[in-house]
């Protein structure tokens, strides 16, 4: 959508209470080529009115031009320029709160001393009771070293915290799981592995997030070997799951059978390699892949994929998926009529979807539409509820099918904020765990 790459600011203005004053102010803003969004009346007086006007601008320089134009308008006073994004982040987006109001001695004695000792002794005798009598059964760790954050790259763990908080907020809002960000001040794979293994008893699952390739492959594998709760690197498997879901619906819309299509993956980092592996597992056929890093190409080859290059993929593949992080990599003239192109790098794709469609693509989308939020909350909810030791390829494929089936007619993916979607994904994952005999909790009634 046009507004997704814009800066959003709110101008609080005091205007003279006269006909035409507000309309003229909007014209001033429009003359600077800024879009106007929501408008709120904050105060209405006899002579003056205070309004909040939300505007969309291209960048800080564009914003400055709009501000100067508003300040020069004689019948309005600019009181404040507010960044509502920053305001929402003040104090953080998550908190740990007590489930009980501790307001008398009786409650205190039950939730803490001396009552808590009885619970501790029960768990000592039977460690499995920790899932029943503690928060462990709904706690998920979101672990990062901040080395591959969104489209920002290596910003470090502290700057990654707002993203981790966002993931935690989504997890709780959409599925009720309590996710806790864990920031690691190290990029040493062995230290990361050992740290996560040491804190694992606190949690029912581990979500690895924004850890750069190729370290992320080794880190995920080794942590999963050492602990018996699910470990999933979302940038790999969450992305692969959602891309597969989107392709299922795109193939229906375009009439292209994926089993008869030649698939090419441009960029074989964390997301690209995982997408390749999932599609090869799902379709039982190799994909063609390309990366500027020879080691990345070799990883695809060892997974039974074919090494290719950008030119060959664009010239021969029916489905092209790009995860390179290089804006504008795919040129309009490279696109062949009838191709399906998913340019997934955020915030700027390898080719804008509208440009790809103008060049003849049968379908084109970017990472704003095909986003991990569709997958990871429900995947973890299902895995945690089933109490599985790991998340399998079969569970991820079941999640992909559930996402695809939930999409409304004519859409390739559902509304990511629809809680029903995440319940369906969770049930699909739990059902597959039951079929694979990996569940360690009774799922009686779970699918009712």
Q: Which of the residues are catalytic?
A: 112, 167
Give me the DSSP letters along 294-361.
Answer: HHHHHHHHHTT-EE--HHHHHHH-SEEEE----TT-S-GGGPPTT-EEEE--SSS-SS-HHHHHHTT-
Q: Which distant-in-sequence residues (6+ apart) come within 8 Å of 241 by Cβ?
A: 278, 375, 379, 396, 397, 399, 400, 403
SS3 49: strand
Q: Is-contact 167 233, C-beta < 8 A?
A: no
Contact 213, 271 (CB under 8 A): no
Cis status, amide bond into 347, omega within 30 of 0: yes
* CB distance 144 to 210 below 8 Å: yes
Query: Which residue's structure tokens are 């193939």?
Result: 251
Token output for 316: 């021969």
The residue among 233, 237, 240 whose CA lies nearest residue 342 is 240
- Asked if 396 and 245 touch (Cβ cutoff 8 Å), the reply is no
Burial class (CB in 10 A: 0-12, 13-18, 19+), 395: buried
Number of Cβ within 10 Å of residue 340's Cβ equals 25
């Amino acid at each position: 959508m046009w507004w997704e790459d814009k800066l959003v600011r709110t101008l609080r203005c005091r205007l003279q209470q006269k006909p035409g004053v507000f309309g003229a102010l909007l014209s001033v803003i429009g003359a600077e080529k800024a879009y106007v969004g929501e408008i709120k009346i904050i105060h209405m007086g006899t002579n003056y009115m205070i309004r909040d006007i939300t505007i969309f601008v291209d960048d800080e320089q564009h914003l400055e031009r709009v501000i100067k134009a508003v300040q020069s308008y004689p019948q309005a006073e600019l009181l404040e320029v507010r960044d509502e994004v920053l305001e929402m982040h003040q104090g953080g987006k998550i908190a740990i709160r007590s489930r009980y109001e501790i307001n008398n001695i009786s409650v205190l004695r039950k939730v803490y001393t001396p009552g808590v000792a009885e619970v501790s002794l029960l768990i000592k005798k039977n460690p499995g009771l920790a899932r029943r009598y503690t928060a462990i059964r709904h706690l998920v760790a979101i672990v990062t070293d901040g080395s591959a954050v969104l489209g920002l790259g290596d910003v470090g763990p502290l700057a990654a915290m707002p993203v981790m908080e966002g993931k935690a907020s989504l997890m709780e809002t959409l599925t009720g799981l309590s996710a806790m960000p864990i920031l690691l001040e190290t990029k040493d794979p062995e230290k990361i592995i050992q740290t996560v293994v040491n804190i694992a008893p606190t949690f029912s699952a581990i979500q690895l997030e924004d850890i750069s390739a190729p370290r992320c492959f080794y880190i995920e594998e080794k942590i999963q070997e050492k602990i018996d709760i699910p470990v999933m690197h979302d940038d790999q498997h969450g992305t692969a799951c959602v891309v597969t879901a989107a392709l299922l619906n795109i193939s229906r819309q375009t009439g292209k059978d994926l089993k008869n299509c030649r698939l090419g993956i441009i960029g074989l980092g964390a997301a690209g390699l995982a997408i390749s592996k999932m599609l090869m597992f799902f379709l039982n056929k190799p994909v063609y892949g390309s990366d500027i890093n020879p080691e990345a190409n070799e990883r695809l080859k060892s997974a039974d994929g074919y090494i290719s290059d950008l030119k060959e993929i664009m010239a021969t593949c029916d489905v092209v998926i790009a995860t390179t992080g290089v804006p504008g990599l795919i040129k309009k003239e490279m696109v062949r009529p009838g191709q399906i192109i998913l340019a997934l790098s955020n915030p700027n794709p390898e080719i804008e979807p509208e440009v790809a469609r103008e060049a003849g693509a049968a379908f084109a989308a970017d990472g704003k539409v095909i986003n991990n939020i569709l997958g990871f909350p429900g995947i973890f909810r299902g895995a945690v509820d089933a109490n599985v030791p790991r998340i399998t390829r079969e569970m991820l494929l079941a999640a992909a099918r559930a996402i695809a089936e939930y999409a409304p007619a004519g859409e390739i993916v559902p509304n990511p904020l629809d809680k029903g979607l995440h319940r369906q994904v969770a049930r699909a994952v739990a059902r597959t765990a039951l079929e694979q005999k990996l569940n360690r909790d009774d799922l009686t009634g779970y699918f009712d």
